[in-house]
Chain A
Amino acid sequence: MLDKNQIAQRIAQEVRDGYYVNLGIGIPTLVANFVRDDIQVEFQSENGILGMGPFPIKGEEDADLINAGKQTITALKGASYFDSATSFSMIRGQHVDLTILGAMEVSQNGDIANWKIPGKMVKGMGGAMDLVASAENIIVAMMHTNRAGHSKLLKQCSLPLTGVHCVKKIVSNLAVLEIANGKFKLLERAPGVSVSEIQEATLGDLIIEGEIPEMTF
């Protein structure tokens, strides 16, 4: 079973040379720590920066330089700043190559729910609806089950949706899966996790074809 850092490490393998990448809050943010040093990648934060760098060294924080999680950041050499409408032109216009975000639920037809739990405080969708509606390549980073042990990979989402038919790939603490013909297709197992354990943790329809390899790091 993977921890949050290992999920991020596995997702980092999906990041290719020359990609512009938008990282959501939570596990996706950790992906930046694991991207290979020998490829060129630029991180976009939808509040208005391309070429986002690591957190600043203490004493160098700048109130005018934050990411979409409102954390202080730095800008790498060659970075650019822009307004919010331009930022979402990059997203809506499909200029961003890869979007990585978290989810509360994903359904087997690629629907995603990650912004609202009825009856609880609703904080808002931020940029998530724009991102999932427009991105061509979306990877979801998530735990396979919730704290009560219930599957988060479902036939149909029960929570209010963020977007429909948009998720392409999922990396969970148990497996790598893709959405194929309205079903979850199992691609890889986490080290030490069996196919039957994944089957048991998946409420949606699961396609298992042939031998399922273990993830490599």
Chain B
Amino acid sequence: MIDKTVANVQQACRGVEDGMTFMLGGFGLCGIPENAIAELVRLDVKKVTCISNNAGVDDFGLGLLLQKRQIKKMISSYVGENAEFERQMLSGELEVELIPQGTLAQRCLAAQSGVPAFYTPAGYGTEVGEGKESREFNGKMHLLEHAFKAQFSFVKAWKGDTAGNLIFKGTARNFNPNMCGAAKITVAEVEELVPSGELDPNQIHIPGIFVQRIFQGAEYQKRIEQRTVREPQTK
């Protein structure tokens, strides 16, 4: 097996530079690459473009990069719950491209699978469709959308092995598998890293071929954004 392991997050992020485009997995704060984000903050890379469904909260997730004004442009589907984001967006410091969530996922998948572009009905007839090529299929209008291009993908999985094979947990899966292999270099951080051969090949969600670097992350906070509970007897 080809060994994809790197010793730590510093080695995992080698080659990261100002002005690059990054993909970052996660939905809200669920399944975000916490260690890679912390390292990007420490490295203080500037003027980066981030492709991520959301932009974190003020003091966690991508909000940490926003606080240090490292992000030039965000490409997301939903960016609520972040006051600093709002301030930078309204002042014009931060460029924001909002795109439909399914289109975002499919543009990742297209990049992963070598499909340069695809048609989707999402956003036709809205401002999302302005300036885009449109075409009718089966009596319905569609927009041409392109695969993303990025230098690094930062993803987070539950378990991984030294060959880069990944298994995700619960809804922390979200965009992470779609971003694997969708950038030039995919960096996977996992809660538990095991020697290759220890994971059941039947259970692997993402084969190691889509991953260039893997490491076991430290001290996951796994913050909950909206803690909702019910009384024991209710439906």
A residues apposed to B, CB below 8 Å: 33, 45-49, 54-58, 60-73, 75, 81-85, 87-88, 91-92, 111, 121-130, 133-134, 160-165
Contacts and interface: CB of A to CB of B under 8 A. Distances in A.
Contact of A125 (B77, B173, B231, B235): B77
Given A85-B108, A124-B76, A164-B125, A130 B30 contact: no
Query: Across chains A and B, which 8 residue pairs bring their CB atoms closest together, nearest first?
Result: A88-B102, A130-B102, A164-B125, A64-B170, A84-B105, A124-B78, A63-B222, A123-B80
Interface centre among B158, B171, B172 (most CB of A within 10 A): B171
A67 B173 CA distance: 12
Interface size class of B (residues with CB under 8 A): 35 or more
B43 interface: no
A57 B232 contact: yes
B30 A122 contact: no
Given A83-B205, A134-B122, A160-B127, 13 more contacts: A46-B102, A64-B31, A66-B28, A66-B30, A70-B225, A82-B173, A85-B177, A88-B105, A88-B106, A124-B98, A125-B98, A126-B77, A164-B125
Interface of B: 27-31, 53, 76-80, 86, 89-90, 98, 100-106, 108-109, 120-128, 158, 168-178, 205, 222-232, 234-235
Contact of A133 (B106, B121, B175): B121
B123 A133 contact: yes
Contacts of B234: 54
Contacts of B170: 49, 62, 64-65, 75, 81
A48 B169 CA distance: 11
Contacts of B108: 84-85
A59 to B, nearest CB: 8
Q: Binding site of A, secondary structure by majority: helix, strand, loop or mixed?
A: loop
A92 B120 contact: yes
Contacts of A162: 126
A71 B226 contact: yes
7 contacts: A47-B171, A48-B171, A57-B231, A57-B232, A83-B168, A129-B100, A133-B123
Contacts of B178: 83-85
A64 B86 CA distance: 27
Contacts of B226: 66, 69-72
Nearest to B106: A85
Contact of B128 (A57, A92, A129): A129
Contacts of A84: 27, 53, 101-102, 104-105, 108, 174-175, 178
A71 to B, nearest CB: 4
Contacts of B172: 63-64
A92 B30 contact: no
B80 A64 contact: no
Contacts of B77: 124-127
B36 to A, nearest CB: 18
B100 A130 contact: yes
Contacts of B90: 121
Nearest to A126: B78
A152 B222 CA distance: 40
B223 to A, nearest CB: 7
Given A58-B229, A63-B30, A129 B224 contact: no
A66 B225 contact: yes
